[in-house]
Amino acid sequence: MISINNLHASVEGKEILRGLNLEVKPGEVHAIMGPNGSGKSTLASVLAGREDYEVTQGTVSFNGKDLLDLSPEDRAREGLFLAFQYPVEIPGVSNINFLKTAINAIREYKGEGPMEAKDFLALVKEKQKLVELDGKLAGRSVNEGFSGGEKKRNEIFQMAMLEPKLAILDETDSGLDIDALRIVANGVNKLRSPERSFIVVTHYQRLLDYIVPDVVHVLWNGRIVKSGPKELALELEEKGYDWIKAEANTVEA
């Protein structure tokens, strides 16, 4: 699905990602954990194509294509989706119009015609149910005046609508109460399939009780410094990150 090799990225001249390697196969769920400021959101942003970040070294291959060579929109059209840590409010653009435009842009890229209005509305209804999103929100401006939880559910709703091949969830769980967490996790689980992969960035082990990962990685200081089975998340929850940092420093030294 995606293969990241020796990725280095800087922002404002400061190197944040410092030789990151990651390989995700179709159908797999990878969790990325790590202390604040370790570069998790930077990785997500670089993969999605944010222009503030400069890739200085390394390669990313996405289903055989050079991901770093594509515009953000073409990455999305190729099947990459990023659920933002901080979803953006866009006053004046209705959720529905936004989604219709997005879906049709992706269809056009694939050489398909625009979706029929009634099929689109049926799809909206179905996917809203998936994340228990209030139908009224669809008519409102994108994320405007949404609560924190509604914004996160709206990200998952969009993901469900766009049916990506690889979804990156950047701390979709933070700020959610336990009910909202369950709804979000449930939405993700329903979308799991042998063809679809997930990279789940999280601070907390509790999300991984609901979305059970195949692999857990620890990102620290711009690198993946440890990988392991899902039990690694529990260990991190118990012991914190200091032992990992110590280990990593020893390796580096």
Provide the binding-site residues for Mg ion, judged by CB under 5 A.
40-41, 85
Per CB under 8 A, 105 contacts another protein:
yes
Among 9, 22, 60, 76, the residue binding another protein under the rule CB under 8 A is 76
145 sits near another protein (criterion: CB under 8 A): no
CA–CA distance, 61 with 1 (Å, rounded to integer): 8
Q: Which does 109 bind (CB under 5 to 8 A by kind): Mg ion, another protein, ligand ADP, none?
A: another protein
- Longest CA pairwise span in the chain (Å): 61
For ligand ADP, which is the closer residue by CB, 40 or 151?
40
Cβ-Cβ contacts under 8 Å for 152 (sequence gap 6 or more) = 83, 87, 172, 173, 175, 176, 180, 184
**Closest CA relative to residue 83, chosen from 205, 209, 211:** 211
Contact 63, 1 (CB under 8 A): yes
Nearest distance from C-beta of residue 247 to another protein, angstroms: 35
Instruction: For the CB of residue 120, give the shortest distance to another protein in the complex, in Å.
Output: 15
With CB under 8 A as the contact rule, the residue among 41, 128, 158, 197 that binds another protein is: 158
CB 61 within 8 A of CB 67: yes
The only residue of 35, 39, 87, 187 in contact with another protein, by rule CB under 8 A: 87
Of 179, 190, 192, the residue nearest 152 (C-alpha): 179
158 binds, among another protein, Mg ion, ligand ADP, none (CB under 5 to 8 A by kind): another protein
